Chain A
Amino acid sequence: MCNTCGCNVTPGNQSLIQNEKPKEGLTTISVLQNLLTHNNNQADHNRAHFDAEKVLVINLMSSPGSGKTALLESTIKQLKESLSIAVIEGDLETENDAQRIQAQGVPAYQITTGTACHLDAHLIHNVLHHMPLKGLDLLFIENVGNLVCPASFDLGHHRNVVLLSVTEGDDKPSKYPVMFKAADLVLITKLDLLPYLDDFSIDNAKQNVHNLANKAPTLTISAKNNLGMDEWISWLKSEIHQHQALLLNHQTQKPKVQQDGALLHAKATPHKFYPVKTHQH
């Protein structure tokens, strides 16, 4: 190893060494900005809209076919008499999910994502001018069926619910750590099928989530046979109460999102809620 021929240059120290020999006129500008800053600012703006109308917003994420729409259908059946609910449908348009929700008698707004693999805060803001938020208690966003990128995008919602169906395998949390680390609640779905599967262990699935240093609760449900629905409904109601209490103190809550490691690792403080000024969309 020497300092003349370049044999000591590794990917790790490359930039340091380059800086050692400043070239004429070359300036290095330190930036330290998240690449998703633009999305995150839009998300905070969306959240201010939701908070101004006191709506709790829940983002549902999972693989395709884990049962997001089926869960919404049976949840709405149970809650529509007592709560005012709406759905933003971001899953594939061809699945007619929005029509399935509308058939339950609540408003559903389809986002056309084309080939997009995730929703972002701008897509959600575009929908906001087509939908009345006034009077709503609960808004669900059904994200694109994908366990990879939706987890990185704050939409302005308050809670992430990640679904894992028993047919997918209990190792999914270990294979998709970014997604399962972002869960505020993990729902193990299609519980009615568990007796037919010999390789899915609920304990293993929970352990794999805990291994990600995520202490989010796990509930097991079957939307088909109404198993475990009561616990899910109670979770929703307690989240609504908690959110209302925060709003009274001019605070709000964010879902678990990437914290950018050391750059943003200041102690978690309650998120302040700033009312949005009425504006033209």
Chain B
Amino acid sequence: MHELSLCENLLEQVIKIAQQHQAKTIESITLNLGPLAGVEPLLLDNAFKILKIDTVVANAQLIINTTPIIIECPHCGEQSSATNNYLVCPSCQSNDTRLISGDELILANVALYTAT
């Protein structure tokens, strides 16, 4: 529901990186987004299409990688995949599990052309 403001933060970070690297244009922006990040990829993509107009990222492609939900159990040491509302260890039924992937909301990389 706040994808527009998140996208503003994203563009701020990307524009800063573009300036640091004296980018001419930006080819793509890659995000790692977990199902438990509380962000709707489609809404984020729509926000990007609106906000990128007339900026240095106007021609950039937004790539959203959905990360898998993976939990680790401290009791049996097992790593397993899980769904967003069932994070119990499938081997020993413990609910002490730790989420090791699945809630990311991360700017992973920016591919850009530098001025030559």
Write out the residue numbers on chain B whose beta carbons fall within 8 Å of the beta carbon of A39. 9
Asked if B95 contacts A29 (CB within 8 A), the reply is no
Residue A212 contacts which of B2, B17, B85, B108 (CB distance < 8 angstroms)?
B85
Q: Tell me which of A69-77, A102-110, A126-134, A174-182 binds B.
A: A174-182
Q: Is the interface of A mostly helix, strand, loop or mixed?
A: mixed
Tell me, yes or no, whether B114 is within 8 Å of chain A by CB: yes
Asked if B104 contacts A260 (CB within 8 A), the reply is yes
Asked if B2 contacts A149 (CB within 8 A), the reply is yes
Q: Tell me which of A197-205, A247-255, A261-269 binds B.
A: A261-269
Least CB distance, B23 to chain A, in whole angstroms: 8
Least CB distance, A117 to chain B, in whole angstroms: 4
Write out the residue numbers on chain B whose beta carbons fall within 8 Å of the beta carbon of A175. 85
* CA A29 to CA B23, docked complex, whole Å: 11
Least CB distance, B113 to chain A, in whole angstroms: 5
Residue A213 contacts which of B10, B27, B37, B99 (CB distance < 8 angstroms)?
B99
Write out the residue numbers on chain B whose beta carbons fall within 8 Å of the beta carbon of A29. 17, 21, 109-112
Tell me, yes or no, whether A208 is within 8 Å of chain B by CB: yes
B-facing mask of A200-225, CB < 8 A → 1, else 0? 00000000101111110000000000
Most chain A Cβ neighbours within 10 Å, of B85, B87, B116: B85
Asked if B110 contacts A36 (CB within 8 A), the reply is no
A-facing mask of B79-116, CB < 8 A → 1, else 0? 00000111110000001111111111111111111101
Tell me, yes or no, whether A78 is within 8 Å of chain B by CB: no
Tell me, yes or no, whether A30 is within 8 Å of chain B by CB: yes
Tell me, yes or no, whether B42 is within 8 Å of chain A by CB: no
Write out the residue numbers on chain B whose beta carbons fall within 8 Å of the beta carbon of A117. 1-2
Tell me, yes or no, whether A94 is within 8 Å of chain B by CB: no
With both beta carbons as reference points, the residue of chain A lying nearest to B17 in the complex is identified as A29
Least CB distance, A196 to chain B, in whole angstroms: 27
Tell me, yes or no, whether B55 is within 8 Å of chain A by CB: no
B-facing mask of A33-50, CB < 8 A → 1, else 0? 111111100000000000
Tell me, yes or no, whether A7 is within 8 Å of chain B by CB: no
Asked if B2 contacts A33 (CB within 8 A), the reply is no
Least CB distance, A34 to chain B, in whole angstroms: 6
Known pairs A31-B108, A35-B9; A26 contacts B103 (CB<8 A): no
Least CB distance, A33 to chain B, in whole angstroms: 5
Write out the residue numbers on chain A whose beta carbons fall within 8 Å of the beta carbon of B21. 27, 29
* CA A105 to CA B22, docked complex, whole Å: 57
Tell me, yes or no, whether A25 is within 8 Å of chain B by CB: yes
Asked if A26 contacts B112 (CB within 8 A), the reply is yes
* CA A25 to CA B114, docked complex, whole Å: 6
Near A by CB (< 8 A), chain B positions 30-79 give 30-31, 34, 36-39, 63, 65, 67, 70-71
Known pairs A30-B109, A261-B102; A152 contacts B85 (CB<8 A): no
Least CB distance, B48 to chain A, in whole angstroms: 12
With both beta carbons as reference points, the residue of chain A lying nearest to B87 in the complex is identified as A213
Write out the residue numbers on chain A whose beta carbons fall within 8 Å of the beta carbon of B30. 15
* CA A44 to CA B108, docked complex, whole Å: 23
Least CB distance, A264 to chain B, in whole angstroms: 9
Known pairs A118-B2, A177-B84; A26 contacts B100 (CB<8 A): no
What are 30 A-B pairs at a CB distance below 8 A? A11-B65, A12-B65, A14-B63, A18-B111, A25-B116, A26-B111, A26-B113, A29-B110, A29-B112, A34-B106, A34-B107, A35-B9, A35-B13, A35-B31, A35-B105, A118-B1, A148-B1, A151-B38, A152-B37, A173-B85, A175-B85, A177-B85, A181-B36, A211-B85, A213-B87, A213-B98, A259-B99, A261-B70, A261-B100, A265-B100
Q: Which residues of A contact B (CB under 8 A)?
A: 11-12, 14-15, 18, 23, 25-39, 116-118, 146, 148-149, 151-152, 173-175, 177-178, 181, 208, 210-215, 258-263, 265
